[in-house]
Structure 1
Amino acid sequence: MNDQQKEIQNTIQILKKGGLILFPTDTIWGIGCDATNAAAVDKIYALKQRDESKALICLVNDFKMLNRHVENIPEVAYDILRYASKPTTIIYDQPINIAENLLAPDQTLAIRVAQRSFCKDLVQKFKKPIVATSANISGKATPKSYAEISTEILKGVDYIVPLQSQKMSTKPSAIIKLSNDGVVQVIRK
């Protein structure tokens, strides 16, 4: 078993216990938890000091997992994801099989199909979506590297994936809202 596989196993044990992780997502360093565990989602809101009306993003590993957590995926979503030149998060109507407190007030959910190796492998082996929100207190700057993550965040998680030297993007994903009525809205480029 290589180091990455070992880290994935360690991280999954924390997620299964409802713990919070600090991990390299496919964009930036993120705080994560089991997206189906409402108590774990509450811990993220508390740690980030974030209003629960501001929804969080969750990660899936492929289209198959995406289909298990969105009732009706607009056909255009597949094209957007296939041809996107950067990681792209899509906000969907009618999410299912997910913690209720993860949903936005309008009952939508932001989901990204993970691209990076560690992140994608973690979600695949966990077999459930994982919350992935920036590793900062709400309203503060998003850290551009592990070294910029605040002590408060570092002490507030249950496990830190020790891949601090991993090259990360310094930009969050693009966000597009796809409504079932056909409306497409770019939230963040």
Structure 2
Amino acid sequence: MSDDVQRAAAAIRRGEAVVYPTETVYGMGADATNADAVERVFDIKGRDRDNPLSAGFPDVDAALELVEVDDREEAFMRRFLPGPVTVVVERRDSLPDALVAGKDRIGVRIPDHELALALFRASGTPVTATSANRSGTGSITHPSQLSDEIREAVAVVLDGGTTPGTESTVVDPGRGVVHRRGAMADDIEAWLDEHDDDA
């Protein structure tokens, strides 16, 4: 798959969008630091601009270069990432307003999926982490489910076979808030309860 990963990474660096597998569902990736590329993802998905996108990174250390975290938030990230979790933390200004609808916080995604991580490493930039479906339609667990509209709009589709289909849990560990229950939600809530005094 390395040739396909390199093609997809090159497309991301050119400002194009690609589709890639994760340990939850298929995602749509573009350069998360490029406002035009981010806008393209919103257009392809038909997504409301007020609904922020998450950013994918190859590891926690790479994410920490572009977000601000306290000790509790970093401890949470190192416990649950890589994994099926979107961690909401404060962003730095190097991430464009378009990505986060002008908000101060961003969802960080580090999938526990080697193909996704290989893509993120090869791209050399944070990559948008949003599901590869038109807004309002079901998540994609296999490339065969991609709409013609999305397939034609993206530069590369990385085929990793069938994904499990369980959405990631979205959590703000600094505030102790679970925004969306998904994979590993019970473990996450137990960790938040256990570390409640750290907040």
For Structure 1 versus Structure 2, the TM-score category normalised by the shorter chain is 0.7 to 0.9
Q: Does 1:140 align with 2:137?
A: yes
1:94–1:9 distance in 2 versus 1, CA, 3 Å:
closer
Deviation of 1:97 after TM superposition, in Å, equals 1.9
- Residue 77 (structure 1) aligned to one of 68, 73, 76: 73
What is aligned with 1:60?
Answer: 57
- Residue 180 (structure 2) aligned to one of 159, 169, 188: 188
More deviation, 114-123/77-86: 77-86
What is aligned with 1:35?
Answer: 32
Letter in 1 for 2:164: S
1:46–1:108 distance in 2 versus 1, CA, 3 Å:
same
Letter in 1 for 2:19: L
Q: Structure 2 CA distance, aligned partners of 1:168 and 1:51?
A: 26
Asked if 2 retains the 8 angstrom alpha-carbon contact of 1:68 and 1:96, the reply is no
CA RMSD, Structure 1 to Structure 2 (Å): 1.8
Aligned-partner SS, 1:124: helix
Deviation string 1:46-77 (CA, Å, 9 cap, x unpaired) is 1111111100111011121111110x212223
Asked if 1 retains the 8 angstrom alpha-carbon contact of 2:28 and 2:41, the reply is yes
Q: Structure 1 CA distance, aligned partners of 2:26 and 2:10?
A: 20
Asked if 1 retains the 8 angstrom alpha-carbon contact of 2:73 and 2:89, the reply is no
Deviation of 1:105 after TM superposition, in Å, equals 4.0
What is aligned with 2:163?
Answer: 168
Aligned-partner SS, 1:176: strand
More deviation, 108-117/97-106: 97-106
Q: Structure 2-normalised TM-score?
A: 0.83
What is aligned with 1:10?
Answer: 7
Deviation of 1:93 after TM superposition, in Å, equals 1.7
